Chains A and B, each alone.
Chain A
Amino acid sequence: MQKFYIDTNVLISYISGPQKEPTQYPKAQKIFSEIKQGVYIGVISTLVLIELKGVIRTIFGTDRPQLETIEQNKQSEYVKSESQKIYDELIVELLQLPNIKFEKGRQSNFQSILDAANQIMDDIKGDVRFYNTCGNCGAQFKSSKHKQILAADILHALLAKDTACDSLITFDKGFAGLVGNSIMSQLQIVIR
């Protein structure tokens, strides 16, 4: 059975549900349905779980009305502890999913993964974009930005390769920069 590395955004979309994430949820639902049916194995890495924790904390951090009711020096602890409760509940369910594997890769040589990531960064040019308005306030503002793949994206892809996945599945178009990269060799990047 083929193995698909599940990117964090796919997992977040699925657990967010159709009301909170109407755009990506149907696609995530289809992916998890295929895993359930045994069409392929879904692989969840420790890096994805770390990001899951981070996302939940970020979401709790946006609840200003609630945070304002808590003493300032206890707000961070509140975010951490409340996030942990939800994370734990999610893990309980994740552990029960058939056809899901929790794999950590070979861990034999972390430096070799970083060297590969460095090489990929060298291989990718990224692209320059011009902006004529401010992204925040919409005012006329001429600027330019160099867009490139994120280091974490590269690490996910290398982890997918390290866990012998056939594909990495993501909703993030930023991964397009990795398609065809020689270091990825047989790993297929699937952007839905």
Chain B
Amino acid sequence: MSLSSNSKWLLVLIGATRYVEGSTRLQKYGLLTFKKIGSREEFFSDWRPDKFGVFSRSLAQNLTMLVDDKYVTKDEVTNTYGKTSYRYRITDKGRNEIQDLINVKKDVVEDVCGIAQYYFDKSTKEVLADVYTMYPEYTTNSTIKHEVNKNKIDQETLFEESEFDIPSDQAKHLSFDLTNLVTRNAPEHVFNDEDAREKLAKEIGLRDIPKLDATAFDRLAGMLGKKIKLDKIDAVETVRAIRGS
């Protein structure tokens, strides 16, 4: 049985980047997608204010179905702050399902990709701040509105300098990369600190990324010096030697 248009566009949204972290983030992407392509394509339209802001029950149900049917994987990860979250990634089966969209509706696909790619390197707080600002009508039942508003104030100066026009001004400022939609060998996204931390942790044999701990600054200071016999290190010269000076 082929997937509905809703499900396929949700796959495009998830496949636009290497992963989407957290269902709350995906819900916000969903609203932005609806606002952007809703008049042209069939996409989830049952948006209502909920405790974490805007929410679509049908998107949530579709997501569960896509995971159950292996179009999308859902992996538990521990983030930088030690909290558990879920990463949603498109599978090869999922990619196959959206090939027709990529071929026939490239413009719309680019619009959808632009949303996920724009926010990929931004924190969930930033995503929430943007969506709460643009669509306050969906924040009436939010239990985190106060926190989000505080974050909005913190970010005001950043907004002034940023491309804060999603989704109204279409995608003219955004750059698109459809690589992840069509191949497993997607490029790493810029500023992907979480991914880099995960990779580093794995490289040195850790199961999870260590939690942030400011006392590590003290432990790190002089750590190498204590473990080596060399009397003195000239850091500049030693590094220059490594660089071939």
Contacts and interface: CB of A to CB of B under 8 A. Distances in A.
A62 interface: yes
Interface stretch (A20-28, A116-124, A130-138): A20-28
Nearest to B227: A86
Size class of the A contact interface (CB-based, 8 Å): 35 or more
Contacts of A108: 187
Given A96-B213, A97-B216, A17 B222 contact: yes
A189 B62 CA distance: 50
Contact of B190 (A8, A54, A96, A106): A106
A128 interface: no
Interface string B188-202: 101111001100110
Contacts of A22: 232
Contacts of A89: 223, 227
A102 B225 CA distance: 23
Interface in B175-219: 187-188, 190-193, 196-197, 200-201, 203-206, 209-214, 216-217, 219
B236 interface: yes
A106 B203 CA distance: 21
A139 interface: no
Contacts of B244: 150-152
B242 A93 contact: no
A103 B239 CA distance: 20
A101 B225 CA distance: 24
A166 interface: no
Contacts of B201: 95
A105 B190 contact: yes
B229 A153 contact: no
Contact of B224 (A15, A32, A35, A96): A15
Contact of B236 (A59, A97, A171): A171
B236 A15 contact: no
A16 to B, nearest CB: 5
A52 to B, nearest CB: 9
Contacts of B191: 101, 103, 163-164
B104 interface: no
A180 interface: no
Name, among A8, A28, A96, A172, the residue most crowded by chain B CB atoms within 10 Å (CB to CB).
A96
Size class of the B contact interface (CB-based, 8 Å): 35 or more
B169 interface: no
B216 A96 contact: yes
Contacts of A174: 240, 245
A90 B224 CA distance: 8
Nearest to B228: A59
Given A21-B235, A23-B234, A58-B242, A16 B216 contact: no
A94 interface: yes
B226 interface: yes
Contact of A150 (B187, B224, B235, B245): B245
Nearest to B209: A95
Contacts of A28: 235
Contacts of A87: 204
A95 B197 contact: yes
Contacts of B187: 106-108
B167 to A, nearest CB: 23
A8 B200 contact: no
11 contacts: A17-B224, A36-B214, A58-B238, A90-B220, A95-B200, A96-B210, A96-B212, A150-B240, A152-B243, A162-B190, A164-B191
Given A63-B230, A104-B188, 14 more contacts: A20-B224, A20-B228, A20-B230, A21-B232, A32-B217, A59-B228, A59-B230, A92-B206, A93-B223, A95-B201, A95-B210, A103-B192, A104-B196, A107-B188
Interface of B: 187-188, 190-193, 196-197, 200-201, 203-206, 209-214, 216-217, 219-236, 238-245
